[in-house]
Amino acid sequence: MEKLIITAAICGAEVTKENNPAVPYTVAEIAREAKSACDAGASIIHLHVREDDGTPTQSKERFQLCIDAIRRECGDAVIQPSTGGAVGMSDLERLQSTEVTPTPEFATLDCGTLNFGGDEIFVNSDNTIFNFARIMKERGIKPELEVFDKGMIDIAMKADRKGLLVRPLHFDFVLGVQMTATVRDLSFMAGSIPQGSTWTVAGIGRHAFEMAAAGIIMGGHVRVGFEDNLYLEKGVLAQSNGELVEKVVKLAKLLGREIASPAEARGILGL
Ligand code: KMH
Ligand code: ZN
């Protein structure tokens, strides 16, 4: 089996210090959390940024500061800016994270609209998705196709048929938001993408490590981090993103899967 790529989603746009005091807001805190994740074995940092008071922002300047700081701490780690941002942001606002220097090699592309809990709806119309895909292709940015249910794979395939994506594709199955995080559903997702594609699974909340173990066994890759889950185990808050990554590394070792370095991750993903 290929080596395991671990992505650390260190910050997100929704979780706060009230949920876990280690959630990073400032540039220094974001760099600290990225370092803890890379030191533990993450080769990709999935990045959202915040203002110092915790407000999510897609500001190009803030992304640039955070990316430069992460680069100083994490050497050659792959930095994957979010183009999802936070619920309610405009498309132009969201795309700013790709306007940094140098142009990112990888960024997220959310492939559908979904219920995000309570009254929140994360809106991604077909035109938004196709436009983001076109811009990423023009800029040479590989999209990580964020799919929260099977219909979003089908929308991604529409973009593929329109020539807006470059194969091989890479998907992130985010399970436990709109679609349940079960091995049955993960298998359905993994069986629904084109041959030759790669995939990562992110299990939300209490599903994080079940989905990580399933991803390791099934030959996929794994995402963990505060964006998805704040707990190391039931009732025990993680003190850093590094602790969450360390737990995935331990699972991988137990299950006989080696961990990919950033250079190896680039090779596997064709970055
Ligand atoms: N914060 C969510 C609304 C992404 O990073 O592309 C969107 C999100 C997906 O987190
Ligand atoms: Zn995200």
Looking at the CA of 10, which ligand is closest? 2
Domain-located, residue 203: yes
The pLDDT of 192-206, averaged and rounded, is: 98
pLDDT value of residue 258: 98
CA–centroid distance, 56 to ligand 1, in Å, is 11
What is the band of 42 on the pLDDT scale with cuts at 50, 70, 90? very high
Site to substitute for ligand 1 among 91, 122, 123, most atoms within 8 A of C-beta: 122
What is the band of 209 on the pLDDT scale with cuts at 50, 70, 90? very high
The pLDDT of 151-176, averaged and rounded, is: 98
Q: How far apart, in Å, are the Cα atoms of 2 and each of 137, 169, 221, 264? A: 26, 16, 9, 10
Domain-located, residue 51: yes
Domain-located, residue 119: yes
Amino acid, single-letter form, for residue 50: R
Beta strands, E only, 139-254: 142-147, 170-175, 198-203, 221-224, 231-233, 236-237
Indicate the SS3 state at residue 122.
Answer: strand
What would the pLDDT profile of 127-157 be if each residue is shown by its tens digit?
Answer: 999 999 999 999 999 999 999 999 999 999 9
**Whole-angstrom Cα distance, residue 91 to residue 108?**
13
pLDDT value of residue 223: 99
| 138, two tokens | 């023009």
Domain-located, residue 1: no
Radius of gyration of the chain (CA): 17
Domain-located, residue 63: yes
User: Residue 26 sits in a domain of what CATH number?
Assistant: 3.20.20.70
What is the band of 119 on the pLDDT scale with cuts at 50, 70, 90? very high
**Whole-angstrom Cα distance, residue 101 to residue 145?**
22
What would the pLDDT profile of 246-270 be if each residue is shown by its tens digit?
Answer: 999 999 999 999 999 999 999 999 9
Q: Which atom of ligand 1 is nearest to the CA of 146?
A: 6
pLDDT value of residue 177: 96
The number of distinct structural domains making up the chain is 1
Interhelix angle for 150-161 vs 183-190, to 10°? Answer: 10
Q: Are strands 56-57 and 6-9 parallel, antiparallel or unpaired?
A: unpaired
Looking at the CA of 82, which ligand is closest? 1
Residue range of the domain that includes 230: 6-269
Residues of the chain with pLDDT > 90, as a percent, come to 100
CB 145 within 8 A of CB 198: no
Tokens 């190009």: give the residue: 60
pLDDT value of residue 35: 98
Residues of the chain with pLDDT > 70, as a percent, come to 100
Tokens 């963990």: give the residue: 224
pTM over 0.75: yes
Domain-located, residue 240: yes
Q: Is the CB of 144 under 6 A from ligand 1?
A: no
Q: Is the CB of 82 under 6 A from ligand 1?
A: yes
Residues 6+ apart with CB under 8 A from 90: none
**Whole-angstrom Cα distance, residue 151 to residue 126?**
12
